[in-house]
Chain A
Amino acid sequence: MSPVTGGAFALATVGKVVLFFSVLMLAVMFATIFERKVCGFMQDRSGPNRVGPWGLLQVIADGLKNLLKEETMPEQAIRPFFLLAPVLAILPATILFAVIPFASPLPTQWGLVEMIVADVPIGFLYVLAIGSIGVYGVAMGGWASGSKYSLLGGLRGSAQMVSYEVALALSLVPLILLTGDVRAPEIVSMQQTFTAGPATYATWFVFPLLVGLFFFFVSGLAETNRLPFDMPEAEAELITGYHTEYSAMKFSMFMIGEFAHVITVAALVTVFFLGGWDIPFWQGDNIRVLSDGTVIGEPTWWKTLLTLGAFGVKTSLLVLVFVWIRWTLPRFRYDQLMDLGWKFMLEAVTVYILVIAFVILGIEAVGIPAGGWYAFVLFLVNLALAGVLFFAMDRGTLIRGGAKGAKSAGGEAAGQGG
């Protein structure tokens, strides 16, 4: 069976877009109730439980409330940009999902439908490009509101997002070194085991790129403006930052954008490091579509459903981690945040890329073919690096007072004791 072409392809794509967008919006709705429930449980409360079973319909009540509330338009706001900002906040997070493969290919009578909205050849470069548009929503919302609190929040937010974008992009470079391909479906296939076709690594990239996952996740936290990096929304200092002047549905759209972003980052971590839709310890779901249209493995509809479930479970668990972190860690001070981004993450990621590049060179010089052993050697290297990293981070030099940090600024990145 070969991939669908022509009219069937167009139809399948439209179907996937509609289906996937609605699923994402539903997921966002339930992410809000999920967050509130988890936060309640963590504080020994029961969370919202009045509307519907377990309070599940609370989201609908909230949505209705937001639709019916008055939309305020500040006199000093710059109207077109004020209206555009919420759209820009919500847009990148949703269209990012287009390149995320969420299940194994589905066989139909017209051909094989790949479960990805747009399998673009530039793959996650698209992710990085679109991801950086998110900063416009924050900066524009802050500036167009015509309020000093909003402006400060927007400035902080854009500075933070731009800073961590660098580390976010760089933390994916080792992934390219390993896969040699930036297409997301190919990255998923690389983490599975096949008996035929080009060599793969037979293990999730969380093992050979453990430290990379850490960097990606931390940068992802900063990108989504979630605690402990929620500077743009620091209520105590900035009322609520860039969306101070927004009300009703426009405010709600910022929130939807934030949650969509969280789900997107969780999905990206799943695809890049946790095997995407791969079901662990079972080789039956390993299906690969090569670029020339050859299909390896046996796609069936129930495998598509199962893998979709696996993808959902992994993504939800990662969203739980996001929420867990949010309700545990306090916010960083702004200078600590910038120090961490520029003086630690950037250098550490660069060093990490170099180390991985040299190790890969070494492995290939020794002559280990791409596969399980290749990944195992990288895993050992990563364990050692993780040890060094956490030893350095544990020295109390990373996050501390500005004056002390400034004195030993050079030593911080290298992880020397301050």
Chain B
Amino acid sequence: MPGDVKVVERPRAESSYVRAAAKGMSITMRHLLSPNKKTQQYPDEKWELAPRTRGTHRMAVHEDGRAKCVACGLCPTVCPVNCIKLVPAEDENGERYAAIYEIDEFRCIFCGYCQEVCPVEAIHLGVHYENAEYSRERWVYDLERLVEQEHPVTALWDPQDPASQ
């Protein structure tokens, strides 16, 4: 033994290979026979998502189907990753609306600031995550597509615990 290496003698029960191996074998056999499998058959059965899950965006609409957005410009301002593109316009009644409203879901970090900052509760994050696409362009959601989304919107706070305690 080189130098002053301290050799700690462990008790037999701890250092025995045979006992440890036997114990391991019994554990694996127990798991083999146990009917309680943890695998979730994903595409068939899905997670129940929490109400505050932040996922794909969704635009709220008026009863007549127009987007609620008033193109105030707060969400592109607050967005930390600049993933929202907004070009405002005004209609004949002098009401502002978004001529172009695009969210790049690839860039988005799903922080939820846009939903928090929106004065008219138009843009929301949603409880939804399966948005794979075949091309990158498809990841930029335009206004029409944001309006089309049907999943539930993210709750900003837990209704059972509004003060987050």
Contact = CB atoms under 8 A, between A and B. Distances in A.
A42 interface: yes
Contact of A396 (B1, B17, B24, B31): B17
Interface string B96-115: 00000000000000000000
Contact of B31 (A44, A46, A329, A395): A44
Size range of the interface on B?
20 to 34
Contact of A44 (B12, B34, B41): B34
A69 interface: no
B37 A44 contact: yes
- Residue in B7, B10, B28, B29 with the greatest tally of chain A CB atoms within 10 Å: B28
A46 B19 contact: no
B21 A41 contact: no
Contact of A329 (B7, B10, B19, B21): B21
Contacts of B24: 328-329
Nearest to B2: A403
Contact of B38 (A44, A324, A393, A398): A44
B39 interface: yes
A195 interface: no
Interface in A326-345: 327-329
A329 B23 CA distance: 10
Interface in B22-69: 24-25, 27-29, 31-32, 34, 36-39, 41
A45 B38 contact: yes
Given A390-B18, A393-B17, A396-B17, A42 B12 contact: no
A399 to B, nearest CB: 5
Nearest to B36: A44
Contact of A42 (B7, B21, B31, B41): B31
A336 to B, nearest CB: 10
A328 B21 contact: yes
A396 B12 contact: yes
B15 interface: yes
B135 interface: no
Contact of A393 (B1, B18, B39): B18
Nearest to B15: A396
Contact of A324 (B19, B32, B37, B41): B32
Nearest to B40: A46
Nearest to B25: A328
A43 B31 contact: yes
Contacts of A79: none
A325 B21 CA distance: 9
A343 to B, nearest CB: 15
Contacts of B27: 328
B16 interface: yes
Contacts of B19: 394
B37 A45 contact: yes
A38 B32 contact: yes
Interface in A2-59: 38, 40-46, 49
18 contacts: A38-B32, A41-B31, A41-B32, A41-B37, A42-B32, A44-B38, A45-B39, A46-B41, A324-B28, A328-B21, A329-B21, A390-B18, A394-B12, A394-B18, A396-B12, A396-B16, A398-B17, A400-B15
Q: Which 4 A-B pairs have the closest CB atoms?
A: A396-B15, A46-B39, A328-B28, A328-B24
Interface of B: 1, 7, 10, 12, 15-19, 21, 24-25, 27-29, 31-32, 34, 36-39, 41
